[in-house]
Structure 1
Amino acid sequence: MAAISKTQAVEDQEKSEPIPLTSFLKYANVFYLSIGMLAYDHKNNGKRRQLLLHWIFVAQMVNLNAVLLSELIYVFLAIASGSNFLEATMNLSFIGFVIVGDLKIWHIWRQRNKLTQVVNELEHLHPQRLDQQVTYNVKDHLSGYRRYSKFYFGMHLVLIWTYNLYWAVYYLVCDFWLGVRKFERMLPYYCWVPWNWKTGHSYNYYLMYVSQNIAGQACLSGQLAADMLMCALVTLLVMHFLRLSGHIEGHVAGVASPKRDLQFLQAVVAYNQRLLNLCQHINEIFGVSLLCNFVSSSFIICFVGFQMTIGGKIDNLVMLVLFLFCAMVQVFMIATYAQRLIDASEQIGQAVYNHDWYNANLRYRKMLVLIVKRAQQPSCLKATMFLSVSLVTVADLLQLSYKFFALLRTMYST
């Protein structure tokens, strides 16, 4: 009984401790570390650890790009010879996924210094005491972000390992266990290599199978880490925008001296400007990643939809449905967080109008007009200069995907 009480006391103590900023970045860091990458400068990183991660990262990228090259050669040869058209179109979906993962990893690696500055700035803004975190509603924001993240990376891990382990499970169940069919060597992804892995030495086949599995997971880790890191930073921005709105609405102007009211307004403007600068930096860091997400998702939805409409084996159709579902989940999750950022930043102007400003002096009231005018241009995520991301973007993406699908279907019919 005493042990149970002690355990309960420890749990209560942990729940009462302030939530650090790293709790929001934990999932993204785990996936980046799995490929040996540090997206930003971490505290207390030893030289040995950095050197080990560096060589892990180099090995992962060499393997990933070698697999990508073999898939590209397969598609090129298939199109040139006019054979294996269906396999080539299926491979195009995988190739698009890998290219996007490659670009995301490379771009975030290039933006490491700027990303470190953003994390440090958010660390300075992050409430440290428990009573402060209650007013910021940190626990609820973290809980919501974790629910979305677990569903997001859980679905993608199921997808990638369904593809990766399908032929291994097929061999174990159908051939090794039931003895139903004779096993034919197959790889998760169609590729070309200058040796015959189907009838050659078995170690060549096993080596390629493991290499493709590692490459698939590395590509997925790079994609998931970039998306979850961006969503974590957006969640923190939304948290600060909502806190700023609540702080403005709770202010009663005209009670204290005009100087105090102006000091309050000055602090509000400075705080809001820091958040706007952070949003601009996040767009600079993740703009290319966002553009890759939406362009690749459009092509993936198109090619996967084409594969599903022309029929095929039931096992292939199940995996294609998973692939399509994950592409849609990715788009909707990013668009949802982008819409939350727009709504939270727009709420600043509404909070300025709603707070008790009637008894303030004329100078104070005139300055409120400028703040409201600035809030009418909400902060948003931008996929470089080409696209502002919101839920409306999803409808545009689906229309574009359908146009590509109709074109591809027409080409196949003729």
Structure 2
Amino acid sequence: MAQPINFDKSLQKLQFIFRCSGLTFESKKLTKTHKLKKRCVYLLNFFWLNSDLIGGIYWFIDGIRTGKTFVELTYIAPCVTFSFLADLKAMFMIHYEDYVCNLIDQLRELEIKHETVDEKFRKHEINEDIKFLHLILKCSDILSLVLMLMFITNPIILISLKYYQTKEVDLVLPFLILYPFDSHDIRYWPFVYIHQFWSGSIVLLNICGADNLLYVCCTYLGVQFRLLQHDIENLIEKNYVSMYRESEEFQQKFVKLVKWHKELIRLSSMLEFIYAESTLINFVSSSVMICLTGFNVIAMENVAFVVTFLVFLSASLMQIFMLCFFGDFLMKSSMEVSHAVYNSKWYHLNVTSGKNLLIVLTRAQKPCKLTAFGFSDVSLKAFMSILSSAWSYFALLKTVYSPPKN
């Protein structure tokens, strides 16, 4: 039995997340029954999460009306923002499901088609990128699990401490959500607790599912660009002596490489099309989340909540950083094709072939990139802009906020 290719091995690491969230990246391979089951899981998660999201928004509005403290209001704000982002990411994955499936199929075909590239180059260069991708996927899963456990276990710790100090049971929930009944009543509290636990899990599943798939696609597109670079650099043989006699073999190789390059450009554009809108929302919301989470860390006096929001801040920073990092990786990989053309032995070619190579070099200097719906490139420079905006908002909040006097 044939061994699965690297691309399929990477996709297998996402199967559990997509299965739990009701999303899929291979919709065309599913039967109508399986597709219906996945839709039911997605819809169940959608209504489950949004019942809590609406309750959180109502709590925020009611908190403003009843004069809740600024710290209490900012406690729920990052959670609502993160939930809203998760909702939209899942919706866009559903909306572009067929495009995602086509992209996956074509990336798989490309790897199968070009898996015969120099084994030494693949082992020492390409496999390192794939190992790094798998490390990031594992770190993302671990950080999400730690974040969820901290939000869920905090109420238990606080209830236990309160009981130890006062011998009274003061029921606490992970999130501040307004329900049409008394959620702190012991008859309802366990069910509400479980409901909030799964709502938080849905948020992390939706965000990790969409983001991890983006990381995988960016990595394998970058890998294809690097394999293309290798072939371009070795296009002209060392023993090529004539500047004017172009062999038919050379022309065939050149046409094949050009078609390969065009296909990678097209797939990069498809990936950008799928993620452009969700990336814009992600960029806008990240500055707000980082600002409010950082503010919660310095404003809250409860150590348990401070530690929780520190982990939440780390998760928010990692999420947007990795998004920009893999966008930057794709951009650089595509532009380095021009370096490969320059490093090839183009000076052995005649004028016509040299001009053809120059066209490839010129096109490669225009990067294949992800954008936030055309407003900003997804790159490390964009990450620095987000941090700058978040710091500005944070400084403004810190200046305006004055803690209550005892």
TM-score, length basis structure 2: 0.91
Structure 1 match to 2:142:
154
Instruction: Identify the match of residue 366 of structure 1 among 355, 365, 369.
Output: 355
Structure 1 match to 2:314:
325
Structure 1 match to 2:67:
82
Superposition pairs for residues 194-343 of structure 1, below 5 Å?
A: 194-198=180-184, 200=185, 202-252=186-236, 254=240, 257-343=246-332
1:166 counterpart = 2:154: yes
Displacement of 1:153 in angstroms is: 1.9
Check the 8 A contact 1:19/1:139 in 2, yes or no: no
Structure 1 match to 2:339:
350
SS in structure 2 of the partner of residue 243 of structure 1: helix
> Match of 2:205, as an amino acid?
S
Check the 8 A contact 1:32/1:38 in 2, yes or no: yes
Relative to structure 1, the CA distance from residue 362 to residue 226 in structure 2 (aligned partners, 3 Å threshold; closer, same or farther) is same
Relative to structure 1, the CA distance from residue 167 to residue 309 in structure 2 (aligned partners, 3 Å threshold; closer, same or farther) is closer
Distance 1:65 1:141 in 2: 38
Check the 8 A contact 2:55/2:178 in 1, yes or no: yes
Instruction: Identify the match of residue 25 of structure 2 among 12, 34, 39.
Output: 39
SS in structure 1 of the partner of residue 273 of structure 2: helix
1:59 counterpart = 2:48: no
Relative to structure 1, the CA distance from residue 319 to residue 34 in structure 2 (aligned partners, 3 Å threshold; closer, same or farther) is same
Displacement of 1:321 in angstroms is: 0.7
Percent of aligned positions that are identical: 24
Check the 8 A contact 2:293/2:313 in 1, yes or no: yes
Structure 1 match to 2:82:
97
Distance 1:86 1:113 in 2: 43
1:185 counterpart = 2:171: yes
Check the 8 A contact 2:330/2:368 in 1, yes or no: yes
User: Any idea what the Cα deviations from partners look like across 1:129-163, whole Å, max 9, x if unmatched?
Assistant: 97558354554333221101111221121012210
Distance 1:38 1:194 in 2: 34
Relative to structure 1, the CA distance from residue 181 to residue 391 in structure 2 (aligned partners, 3 Å threshold; closer, same or farther) is farther
Structure 2 match to 1:3:
none
Check the 8 A contact 2:90/2:207 in 1, yes or no: yes
Instruction: Identify the match of residue 395 of structure 1 among 360, 363, 384.
Output: 384
Distance 2:82 2:149 in 1: 15
> Match of 1:220, as an amino acid?
L
> Match of 2:201, as an amino acid?
Q
SS in structure 1 of the partner of residue 35 of structure 2: helix
User: Any idea what the Cα deviations from partners look like across 1:304-352, whole Å, max 9, x if unmatched?
Assistant: 1212222411111111111111111112212221121122111110100
Distance 2:41 2:116 in 1: 42
> Match of 1:141, as an amino acid?
D
Runs of 4+ in 1 over 6 A off after TM superposition: none
Distance 1:161 1:244 in 2: 44
Distance 1:348 1:227 in 2: 26
Which 5+ residue runs of structure 2 have no aligned equivalent?
none
Check the 8 A contact 2:154/2:305 in 1, yes or no: no
Which 5+ residue runs of structure 1 have no aligned equivalent?
1-13
Displacement of 1:205 in angstroms is: 1.2
Root mean square deviation of aligned Cα: 2.3
Displacement of 1:128 in angstroms is: 6.5
1:405 counterpart = 2:394: yes
Relative to structure 1, the CA distance from residue 282 to residue 133 in structure 2 (aligned partners, 3 Å threshold; closer, same or farther) is farther
Check the 8 A contact 1:349/1:375 in 2, yes or no: yes
Check the 8 A contact 1:98/1:219 in 2, yes or no: yes
1:115 counterpart = 2:100: yes
User: Any idea what the Cα deviations from partners look like across 1:252-301, whole Å, max 9, x if unmatched?
Assistant: 26557343323222211110010000010001101122222222221111
Distance 1:311 1:212 in 2: 22
User: Any idea what the Cα deviations from partners look like across 1:212-254, whole Å, max 9, x if unmatched?
Assistant: 1111101110000100000100011011000000001112265
Aligned length: 395
Superposition pairs for residues 378-393 of structure 1, below 5 Å?
A: 378-393=367-382
